[in-house]
Structure 1
Amino acid sequence: MMRALKLILGMLVAAVMMPTAARAQDDRIEIPVAVVTIYPGDEITAELLVERAVRNRRVLTRSYFGSMDGLVGKVAARVLPAGKAIPLNAVREPHVFKEGARVMLRFGSGALSITSAGQALQPGVVGSFVDVRNLDTGIVVRGEVQADGAVRIGGS
């Protein structure tokens, strides 16, 4: 009698736990993690990443990269430990030029186009605004970094 009761109780526990185990399996998502530790300034390549299944938590999907697509080609802004989820704010776009680099300043408005040499006062990322010292006048101007490494000043 006691043995039959234990058997029934065991089957009942198994029946209750089975949907939980299946649900736990369904709650897993794949996220990219570093294969090796990636240091600040290192470019992130597909070879440095691997997908790992983790429990799906809302905080993971909001604060961390959910796929490799958004990571490859970016640069580590801080240490990315191997095997850990990668926070969104731990990477940055690559710099087109470094602080102190010589850059081309461009101004254009209609048919008027003016170019001049400048010295970057901060590193430049495509689409960001940076301060540049005009080497001819010494005046510091602010402009938008272009994909070719030039800085567009005002105009259109």
Structure 2
Amino acid sequence: MSHAPTDLPTRIAARIVLGPGILGRTALALVALGLLTLPVLAGPARPLLKGDITAKRDVITLGDLVEGAPADLAERPLFRAPALGATGTIQVRRIVEAAAGLGLEPPESGGRLQVSVQRAARRIAGPEIETAVTAALARQQGFDPRNLSVAFDGEPPVLTVPVDLDGAAEAVELAYDPRSRRISALVVVGARQASLRVSGQVIEMTQVAVLTRPLARGETVGAADVTTQRRVRDAAAADAPADMAALVGQVAQRPLPAGQPLRSGDLVRPDLVQRGDTVTILYEGSGVSLALRGQAKEGGPLGAVVAVVNPVSKKVLQATVIGPGRVSVGPAPKPASLAAALPARP
């Protein structure tokens, strides 16, 4: 009896017994040929140095410096932080030694030799300190704090506090000598968690009127031409005008530069009535209202009393100037200011 032909490789493979030795040798051969890769068992990751840091506390912990530090050791203090607002460095070898002292392997440093540490802080500068001192002085002495300034001794004061210390600066233990105007105080933040002793000279300020642009002689002051500025009271002129609104509508007696404090003689009220002018004479009273034409015998500014002639009776009347070419001989309404009396600019 004849048999059907059979594929020879298949018949041979069917008779091969794959024992453990053969499997091992086959796997090694495949690895050598690059056809098979064996898994590599990874060890625990090494801790990693974080690099430059910003410290918010007065100590630096292991967790501040090392990424992946064990939870039970992360809060362990290792070094003192720099002073508030200052910057310092820590050598990497010291961090390695500190880690070894805690039973840890050296952190991966990436070739760094040192770590920079900046201490976070909030700076309270001179203007805020001055505000605290002048507010305390105003409460103690009854001054207007808006008119007070302090020239501090030495360099402008700066109080450096931790970033998490909230609250504004306050001045306590205030001592003031009215004769010398010397002042000293302790500036504190929080419940005296941060403090700074300051001293200096109190300077009283005042508001003075100054021009915002130069004026030529005879030029009229407009509302936008004058403003107020704080100046040292002792240096301000005694005859400086106090009412800025009253300056609007006045004219310059001479050329005046911008920014210079005004004095009473710098500006004058313009004559709204000139000598010889024909004027309107108004009279109001007891339900009677009259208006007639007259002639001014003298000139005068707003509010001035001038002599006018009634052309009918030829009688000389004393009338008050209430506007350009207008006078009143009775209780006629008067404008509140020169600016209201003058006609509007085109």
When normalised by structure 2's length, the TM-score is 0.32
Alignment of 1:2-151 (within 5 A): 16-17=153-154, 23=201, 26-57=203-234, 60=237, 62-65=238-241, 68-71=244-247, 73-79=248-254, 81-82=256-257, 83-147=259-323, 149-151=325-327
1:59-101 alpha-carbon deviations (Å, 9 max, x no partner): 53x4113574342x23125125213221124333444333332
Q: Is the 8 A contact 1:119 1:134 kept in 2?
A: yes
Stretches of structure 1 that go unaligned for 5 or more consecutive residues are: 1-14
Q: Is the 8 A contact 1:103 1:120 kept in 2?
A: yes
Shift of 1:55: 2.4
Q: Is the 8 A contact 1:104 1:149 kept in 2?
A: yes
Give the aligned partner of residue 7 of structure 1.
Answer: none
Stretches of structure 2 that go unaligned for 5 or more consecutive residues are: 1-151, 157-181, 183-198, 333-346
Distance, in Å, in 1 between the alignment partners of 2:223 and 2:256 is 16
- Kindly provide the amino acid, as one letter, of the partner of residue 54 in structure 1: R
Distance, in Å, in 1 between the alignment partners of 2:290 and 2:243 is 43
Q: Quick check: which one's helix share is greater?
A: 1
Cα distance change of structure 1 residues 68 and 109 upon mapping to structure 2, 3 Å threshold: closer
Cα distance change of structure 1 residues 155 and 75 upon mapping to structure 2, 3 Å threshold: closer
Cα distance change of structure 1 residues 23 and 69 upon mapping to structure 2, 3 Å threshold: farther
Aligned-residue identity in percent: 18
Q: For this pair of structures, how many residues does the alignment match? A: 139
Cα RMSD (Å): 3.7
